[in-house]
Structure 1
Amino acid sequence: MEIYLIRHTTPAIESGICYGFSDIDVADTFETEVAAVKAKLPTGDFDVYTSPLQRCSKLASALFNQEITADDRLKEMNFGAWEMLAWDAIGREELQTWADDFVQARVPQGESYEELYSRSMELIHELVEKDRNAVIFTHGGVIRSILAHATNTPLVDSFDLKVQYGRISQLKVEDGDIKVVFYNS
């Protein structure tokens, strides 16, 4: 079984803004980025899943002309009260408290990275049970958490796994064991 994880293309938002659950549109470079992703897409029969946020669902629809399943568990981290704020507008102490334990600390009115990991892995385990090839369009945090699981990387170190916009990672599942074939291609 193969699972491809594809990060959405560049979002239409200025840098330095905290966003996760916010439904940000795609940047003007979308068509060019779609062509680059399309050139790397696997061929064959795949079930297709996407985060319902438009920066993912637009890419999925642009690349696959078939049934696409939107699943909330594929959304980026919920940054709660921090959504759409400039990072430097968030209180220094509040931000530092979260940064000191971002794996378990919840963002105010949001979630922790561990909660994102749990919901992401719940879906992955369901897909492994189905034993069908899958392509998943999702976000950097979700992809990092799944790659952390597949590489036995502690979540606290998973941000060392760089995941760029419009890049593909491939997982191979054999006997229920998830291995990384490549990432960020």
Structure 2
Amino acid sequence: MDFVLIRHPEVIVDTGVCYGQTDVPLQRDVRDLASALNARMTALNVPACIDGWHASPLQRCASLAHELGGHAHIDARLGEMNFGAWEGRAWDSIDRALIDAWAGDIEHACPHGGESLAQFAHRVIAWFDATCIDQRAVHVVAHAGVVRVLAAHLLGIARESALQWPLDFGAIVWFRRVRGQWLIVRWNA
């Protein structure tokens, strides 16, 4: 099975703002972005999308998924982590003690009142388990958090480790399952 994920391209939001589930638009025209992504995927020999793209309902993902493949499977479980009261706030305006408490137990703490990493991962992995059974290829447009959580799940590594992996806007991530084991074909391509 091939599993292809694309992180949404750059959005219109001030640098340093926590925007998790805030619905912010893409910076560039979605048709131009889709054209450039299709060209990159062709150059990388990414398998063609057969059954339509899967995407977060947030416009930065859903609009690109529609443009990439016409029909898109929109699923709220692919939405970015919910940062609760921190949504739309500059990171440097959030009480440092709250950020430290979150970092001290990244898996379970949620001082923002949104989702803990464990809750977020449970939601995303539930989507994967329900959607990716017996498929030849699945293509997704999602958020950095979703991509990193799925990478940790597929590779059997700690989520805290995968959260540190660089992932550019518009990055292509491609996994392939070979003899029951997931391998990274491309990361941040």
Common fold: TM-score over 0.5 = yes
Q: Which residue of 1 aligns with 2:22?
A: 22
Give the letter aligned to residue 163 of structure 1: L
For residues 94-151 of structure 1, the C-alpha deviation after alignment (integer angstroms, 9 at most, x for no partner) is 1111121222212422001121111111111223314241110100000011111222
Superposition map of 1:4-19 within 5 A: 4-19=4-19
**Does the 8 Å CA contact 1:10/1:30 hold for their aligned counterparts?**
no
Q: Which residue of 2 aligns with 1:161?
A: 165
Superposition map of 1:138-153 within 5 A: 138-153=142-157
Q: Secondary structure at the match of 1:141?
A: helix
Question: Percent sequence identity over matched residues?
Answer: 31
Q: Which residue of 1 aligns with 2:62?
A: 57
Q: Which residue of 1 aligns with 2:53?
A: 48
Q: Which residue of 1 aligns with 2:89?
A: 85
Aligned residue pairs total: 184
Distance in structure 1 (CA, Å) of the matches to 2:90 and 2:31? 28
- Give the stretch that moved more between structures: 143-152 or 26-35: 26-35
Which sections of structure 2, spanning at least 5 residues, go unmatched? none
For residues 27-62 of structure 1, the C-alpha deviation after alignment (integer angstroms, 9 at most, x for no partner) is 136555433312123325244210000000111112
Quote the RMSD (CA, aligned, Å). 1.8
Give the letter aligned to residue 145 of structure 1: V
Which sections of structure 1, spanning at least 5 residues, go unmatched? none
Give the letter aligned to residue 14 of structure 2: E
Distance in structure 2 (CA, Å) of the matches to 1:152 and 1:113? 16
Q: Which residue of 1 aligns with 2:106?
A: 102
